[in-house]
Amino acid sequence: MKQLLIILVFTLVSFAAFAQQEEYQKKTYVSSENDTLLYRELVPEKLILNQSYPLV
């Protein structure tokens, strides 16, 4: 029974790991004092240049 549970958990974890997609773009902000801030940006699939989008 334990072996079945271990196999089931391993299968579910592997599916969850492969389900993640790179939707966010990796970015870096560098300040004038050379401090860096790593962040990710989610851009809409159909980006309209003259339209404003919320920043959260």
* pLDDT single digits (tens) 6-53: 888 878 777 666 665 678 889 999 999 999 999 998 888 898 999 998
Domain around 32: 1-41
pLDDT at 27: 95
Alpha-carbon gap, residue 43 to 53, rounded angstroms: 9
Q: How many domains does the chain have?
A: 1
The answer to whether residue 4 is domain-embedded is yes
Q: Which of 35, 37, 13, 12 is nearest to 26 (CA)?
A: 37
Q: Is residue 14 part of a domain?
A: yes
Distances (CA, A) of 4 to 1, 14, 18: 5, 15, 21
Residue 48 lies in a domain: no
Strand, coil or helix: 52: coil
Is residue 55, in this structure, part of any structural domain at all? Answer: no
- Ramachandran class of 44: left when φ > 0, alpha when ψ lies in -120 to 50, beta otherwise: beta
> Is 53 contained in some domain?
no
